[in-house]
Amino acid sequence: MTAISIIESQANEVKLPRWLRECLINQQSESNEALICQAFNFAYELHEGQYRKSGEPYIAHPIAVASLLRDLGGDSVTIAAGFLHDVVEDTEVTPEEIEAMFGVQVRQLVEGVTKLSKFNFSSNTERQAENFRKMFLAMATDIRVIVVKLADRLHNMRTLNHLKPEKQRRISRETRDIFAPLANRLGIGRFKWELEDLCFKYLEPEAYEEIKALIAERRADREARIATVTETLRSRLEKLNVKVIELKGRPKHLYGIYQKMQRQQKEFSQIYDIAAFRIIVESNEECYRSLAVVHDAFKPIPGRFKDYIGLPKPNRYQSLHTTVVGSNGRPIEVQIRTMEMHQIAEYGIAAHWKYKETGSSNQMLSPEDSKFAWLRQLLEWQKDVNDAQDYMENVKDNLYEDDVYVFTPDGDVIPLAHGATPVDFAYRIHSEVGNHMKGARVNGRWSVLSKPLENGDIVEIVTQKNSHPSLDWLNFVVSPTARTRIRQWYKRSHRNENIARGKELLEKEMGKSGFDSLLKSEPMQIVTQRCNYHSVDDMLAALGYGEITQNHVVNRLRDVVKEQQPVEEIKVSTEEDVEISNYIPHNKEKQKGKSPIVGGEGMLYHIAGCCKPLPGESIIGVVTLSSRGISIHRQGCHNVEQVPGERIIPVNWNDGTEETKPLTYPVDIQIEAMDRVGVLKDILARLSDRGVNIRNAGVRTGKNKPALISLSLDIRDRQQLEYIFQRIKSMSDILNIRRVIDSGDR
Ligand code: MN
């Protein structure tokens, strides 16, 4: 059937809008109009024989939807999708066929709208409604899907009177909670007002009729007032050469009046008495000049002026708002804007289209162009935020940008993080649901538990009393809650295994001998407290589970033992003076670098046994009362404190002794170590690696105490000693290492 014959045959049954007739008559092949006409023809044939509740042929609905989209300035892809939006749902056509005939974009729009239409938005809480709106935005990778859906909803609302009251109310609630706010969010004021008024009509029929009647009653009065104000403003603006594109009293929409009455607790007359005007001019500059005219002609009410041109709303709305007092003392609300701002206020994101299109007669935008323009615009809004409240809302939305929205079998929407799996969903419902989860059905089919959920999935969790979480789940869950709950469950239920494993790990680290008594020791109790566990077993379980490491425990233990070490533990008898005893040569000889000591030339010297100084440490000479010459002490040795000044001789180490055979000096050290078999052997091995001679070695062990190892070493200088300390300290069993000076010396 050709397009024209459709027009003729249907002339009586369906009235085709003029634009569509012209399109059908004038279309050229390969043009954008051709796509639209082809979509119309296809929809027409598919819906043939179908009727709406109103008795009209079904095709009237797609025609109305396509017309709304065309009025918004929709591109050919969107208008074509408007014609086809119900064919997948209501006829035998598959998405693949649509793609073959109309291209992938039309298919995507039709599929998107079909998917949205399947949901039953039985929301009764504001929170759920918000989740639905977010899901919509998240699902619609192409914003045009939402606009087609809004046009579909608007026409359904317009023809709602043919349905049963119960259905009218359900659809109206859904529209009020989800679709009108979405239209507002997309800035399509035109859709928003009409949707709201239609919902109002079905949800609050009495209030609606009352307000409607009141408006009708006062029409004459209102029109007279409006005419006077219009006259005044028009003549004043003309005097100033402001070119006025439009100046008229605008009707306030019914729901807006109702909301204002509710919000401000005012009578209808108080709200309604406010006359509302809109002035449309050519430029921003003229907007401000018009404002001056309004403020000059009438007295402005302080605090009511708002500059949304300088500071646009997040949905890009721009205008100047002011309220002035009319000659009869009644307030007049005035909006001033340019044509472009007006377009944006009425058509939102679609305004962009409309502009470009009208620019060049019949040529429409390429679908690509407009699609990206929309997305771009949507992103821009999110940056364009001035109001703190709006800002918060935007920030929240951004946070949820990557969320997926899925349904419970009862139809509640659950927002989840991107990549969330049935397991995340289960734990989101309740931890017990997660802990006893046996499997999951997604859209009625068993699903792999690790498979990420998609927007709109209906998820049902099947639980069983003796099912329990698996550690594998940790590999794929994305929500912190699920992760924590799985761990908790595992910890609780595998406590004994974890304790045994923790014990094993710690034992390996610290050595077997005395390990059990070490576990019961006081230092271990302190470590437990410091790691915030109630008992040693709790700590071992945490270790076994991997919440803490054995190194962590050993380090803490080392600290505790160190703190607790009583000072009297180090009791070493003052040994005899060291046998390194020599004669300090005179200057000449010294230059040859033969002596390690400088100062006290010509005298005998020996290294004091009490403090055993090493090259590199500050020293002092003390003339002994015996015949043994000078005794070399460390600076600050307590044995020197009482010595009278005349017996003190300043001495230094000779730095130039490299040529002589390196001398060594005795040093005593003490090492506390975990009582591990072989720890002494390991220490000695490390020392002999460095070529250090060991004169003496001894080990003391005690119940519940670390092993105490005493060593006497031959050391060249301070540097070597420091190096050895480091080497020994780096062994994991070592709790402490210190140099033994003399009892009471520090
Ligand atoms: Mn529809």
**CATH number, position 480:** 3.10.20.30
* DSSP code, position 439: E
In this structure, is residue 416 part of a structural domain?
yes
Of the pLDDT bands very low, low, confident and very high (cuts 50, 70, 90), residue 679 is: confident
pLDDT reading at 528 higher than 60 = yes
CA of 86 to the centre of ligand 1 (A): 5
Q: Which residues, by Cβ under 5 Å, contact ligand 1, an ion?
A: 86, 152
CA of 194 to the centre of ligand 1 (A): 17
Q: What is the CATH number of the domain that holds 675?
A: 3.30.70.260
Instruction: Tell me whether residue 89 is one of the annotated catalytic residues.
Output: yes
Q: What is the mean pLDDT of the chain?
A: 79
Distance, in Å, from the CA atom of 735 to the CA atom of 744, rounded to the nearest integer, reads 22
Q: What pLDDT, on a 0 to 100 scale, did the predictor assign at position 272?
A: 67
Whether 643 and 671 share a structural domain: no
pLDDT digits (tens, 9 = 90+) for 552-582: 888 888 888 777 655 433 333 334 444 454 5
CA of 24 to the centre of ligand 1 (A): 22
What is the domain count for the chain?
6
Distance, in Å, from the CA atom of 705 to the CA atom of 583, rounded to the nearest integer, reads 46
* Residue with more model confidence, 509 or 205: 205
Of the pLDDT bands very low, low, confident and very high (cuts 50, 70, 90), residue 74 is: confident
Domain residue limits at 321: 211-349
Distance, in Å, from the CA atom of 630 to the CA atom of 42, rounded to the nearest integer, reads 118
Distances (CA, A) of 558 to 48, 530, 582, 706: 87, 13, 43, 10
Distances (CA, A) of 206 to 53, 95, 195, 268, 603: 25, 44, 18, 14, 122
Query: What number is the average pLDDT over the span 354-378?
Result: 40
Query: What number is the average pLDDT over the span 653-679?
Result: 73
pLDDT reading at 345 higher than 70 = yes
pLDDT reading at 622 higher than 70 = yes
Other Cβ atoms less than 10 A from the Cβ of 645: the count is 5
Q: What pLDDT, on a 0 to 100 scale, did the predictor assign at position 372?
A: 38
In this structure, is residue 354 part of a structural domain?
no
N-to-C CA span, the chain: 111
Whether 413 and 325 share a structural domain: no
CA of 636 to the centre of ligand 1 (A): 98
Whether 25 and 160 share a structural domain: yes
Domain boundary at 561, 593, 616, which? 561
Whether 129 and 173 share a structural domain: yes
Q: What pLDDT, on a 0 to 100 scale, did the predictor assign at position 222?
A: 78
pLDDT reading at 605 higher than 60 = yes
In this structure, is residue 73 part of a structural domain?
yes
Percent of the chain beyond pLDDT 70?
A: 79
What is the pTM for the complete model shown?
0.54
Whether 645 and 733 share a structural domain: no
Whether 427 and 453 share a structural domain: yes
Whether 13 and 158 share a structural domain: yes
Domain boundary at 171, 202, 233, which? 202
In this structure, is residue 365 part of a structural domain?
no
684: Cβ contacts below 8 Å, ≥ 6 apart: 694, 697
CA of 61 to the centre of ligand 1 (A): 7
Instruction: Tell me whether residue 238 is one of the annotated catalytic residues.
Output: no
Q: What pLDDT, on a 0 to 100 scale, did the predictor assign at position 558?
A: 81
Of the pLDDT bands very low, low, confident and very high (cuts 50, 70, 90), residue 138 is: low
Query: What number is the average pLDDT over the span 142-157?
Result: 89
Q: What pLDDT, on a 0 to 100 scale, did the predictor assign at position 121?
A: 66
In this structure, is residue 374 part of a structural domain?
no
In this structure, is residue 373 part of a structural domain?
no
CA of 335 to the centre of ligand 1 (A): 35
Whether 439 and 498 share a structural domain: no
pLDDT digits (tens, 9 = 90+) for 15-51: 888 888 888 887 776 677 889 999 999 999 999 888 8
Distance, in Å, from the CA atom of 457 to the CA atom of 406, rounded to the nearest integer, reads 5
CA of 192 to the centre of ligand 1 (A): 18
Token pair of 95, please? 């998405």
Whether 26 and 102 share a structural domain: yes
Whether 518 and 471 share a structural domain: no
CA of 87 to the centre of ligand 1 (A): 9
* DSSP code, position 474: G
Whether 187 and 229 share a structural domain: no
Catalytic residue among 13, 22, 90, 238: 90
Catalytic residue among 8, 89, 246, 432: 89
Whether 476 and 605 share a structural domain: no
Of 10-19, 481-490, 728-737, the range with the lowest mean pLDDT is: 10-19
Of 189-198, 323-332, 695-704, 732-741, the range with the lowest mean pLDDT is: 695-704
